[in-house]
């Protein structure tokens, strides 16, 4: 039953924004959805922090009706905290609970969380079973990597275990934890997972356009695709209509998106947090082109929103003119 709901959601969301800590909050997810992304997943929330009611974790629980269905992602290492944290998120309105089993960050994996969950398959099976029992009727998904390192590339084993304990869908970013973000993501491993399980698989890694997303789906058989880094500063990546526009049309589209994003950041955050968010995202909209490092440094040096927006507006215009 939950699996049918999950399949329907995935069918309606073939390409969507990947979760990215400190970027994929409500404003950016609303912007991505406005551009055509399917349902979104929040940035990871630490289950221990949520249970302790840490301010940071509670702030990350923010949801918004404009997002439609939401997947809320948890980071944890035991059923003792993951289960109550997941129940709390469902009570707060989460439609799907996703467990992060791919985060490669040292301070995360040393606590047995993130990608470290792929190392102890038996214990992770117990944790996922407990979540499955507690989340009756709520889709439960996991996001995994290829494995810990080249010697322990066990995505297929982990995916099969997950299917057995009742997980409804899996996202695979096929790099190992040891690879972090280096080299090319080995898409063939996504295909291996698709072959090995009958629950839907979402592919992820190095997709930079809708054309690439379609290629990933046809080469691996995955049911849907998540796009992460390539959507930062380019949320229009989700809109096929954008590609068909001429240079003026694209510039107008981009300006509209940036204006909306700024407005949403102001609506959701206050003071220092709003300024930080604006700097992070506006710096991404500037993109990576010759001379943009200096432009970004100037933006990060600003101490008020008004000044930041003024520098950005000047720079965004320069970039538009240079690339038009
Ligand atoms: C800044 C940053 C933050 C990330 N945070 C998360 C996260 O909170 N949860 C998660 O599952 N993956 C996270 N990821 C991984 C992405 O979701 C994605 O798997 C990875 O970037 C590969 O996809 P891409 O090549 O499309 O970027 C993060 C990646 C980046 C670059």
- The span from the CA of 48 to the CA of 96, in Å, is 19
Task: Specify whether the backbone of 32 is left (phi greater than 0), alpha (psi in -120 to 50) or beta.
Answer: alpha
pLDDT at 295: 87
The residues annotated with a catalytic role in the active site are 103
Pocket test for ligand 1, best of 15, 16, 17, 20 (most atoms within 8 A of CB): 20
Whether the pLDDT of residue 174 is over 80: the answer is yes
Q: Whose CA is nearest to atom 5 of ligand 1?
A: 20
Instruction: Kindly list the domain boundaries of the chain, sorted by start residue.
Output: 2-238, 245-323
- Going by C-alpha positions, the residue among 75, 4, 8 that lies closest to residue 41 is 75
Is 203 touching ligand 1 by the criterion CB < 6 Å?
no
Whether residue 105 has its Cβ less than 6 Å from ligand 1: no
Mean pLDDT of the region 315-320 = 61
Question: pLDDT tier at 1 (50, 70, 90 boundaries)?
Answer: low
pLDDT digits (tens, 9 = 90+) for 112-143: 999 999 999 999 999 999 999 999 899 999 99
Instruction: Name the E strands within the chain.
Output: 15-17, 40-41, 45-46, 70-75, 96-101, 140-147, 169-176, 201-204, 224-227
Here the tokens at position 98 are 């996703």
Domain 2-238 - what CATH class?
alpha beta
Cβ–ligand 1 contact at 190 (below 6 Å) = no
pLDDT surpasses 80 at 324? no
Residue nearest to atom 19 of ligand 1 (CA): 173
The response to whether residue 124 sits with its C-beta less than 6 Å from ligand 1 reads no
The gap from C-alpha 187 to its chain's centroid, in whole angstroms, comes to 18
Task: Tell me what pLDDT residue 263 has.
Answer: 97
Distance 21 CA to ligand 1 centre (A): 7
DSSP labels, 61-90:
T---GGG-SEEEEEE-S-HHHHHHHHHHHH
Q: Cβ distance 148 to 119 under 8 Å?
A: yes
Instruction: Say yes or no to pLDDT of 179 above 60.
Output: yes
Per-residue pLDDT tens over the stretch 56-93: 999 999 999 999 999 999 999 999 999 999 999 999 99
């Amino acid at each position: 039953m939950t699996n049918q709901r999950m399949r329907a959601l995935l069918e309606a969301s073939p390409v969507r924004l990947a979760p990215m800590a400190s970027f994929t909050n409500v404003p950016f997810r609303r912007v991505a959805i406005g551009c055509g992304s399917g349902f979104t997943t929040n940035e990871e929330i630490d289950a221990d922090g949520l249970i302790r009611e840490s301010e940071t974790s509670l702030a990350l629980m923010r949801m918004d009706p404009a997002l439609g269905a939401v997947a809320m992602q948890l980071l944890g290492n035991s059923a003792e905290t993951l289960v109550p944290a997941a129940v709390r998120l469902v009570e707060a309105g989460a439609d799907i609970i996703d467990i992060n089993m791919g985060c490669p960050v040292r301070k995360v994996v040393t606590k047995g969380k993130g990608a470290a969950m792929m190392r102890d398959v038996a214990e992770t099976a117990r944790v996922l079973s407990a979540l499955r029992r507690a989340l009756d009727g709520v889709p439960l998904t996991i996001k995994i990597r290829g494995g810990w390192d080249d010697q322990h590339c066990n995505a297929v084993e982990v995916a099969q275990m997950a299917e057995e304990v009742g997980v409804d869908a899996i996202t695979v970013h096929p790099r190992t934890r040891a690879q972090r973000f280096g080299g090319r993501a080995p898409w063939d491993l996504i295909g291996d997972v698709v072959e090995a399980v009958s629950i839907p698989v979402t592919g992820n890694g190095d997709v930079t356009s809708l054309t690439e997303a379609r290629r990933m789906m046809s080469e691996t058989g995955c049911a849907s695709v998540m796009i992460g880094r390539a959507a930062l500063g380019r949320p229009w990546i989700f809109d096929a209509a954008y590609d068909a526009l001429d240079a003026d049309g694209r510039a107008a589209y981009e300006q509209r998106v940036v204006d909306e994003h700024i407005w949403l950041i102001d609506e959701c955050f206050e003071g220092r947090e709003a300024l930080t968010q604006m700097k992070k995202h506006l710096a991404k909209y500037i993109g990576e082109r010759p001379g943009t490092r200096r432009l970004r440094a100037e933006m990060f040096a600003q101490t008020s929103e008004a000044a930041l927006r003024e520098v950005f507006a000047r720079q965004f215009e320069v970039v538009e003119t240079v690339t038009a």
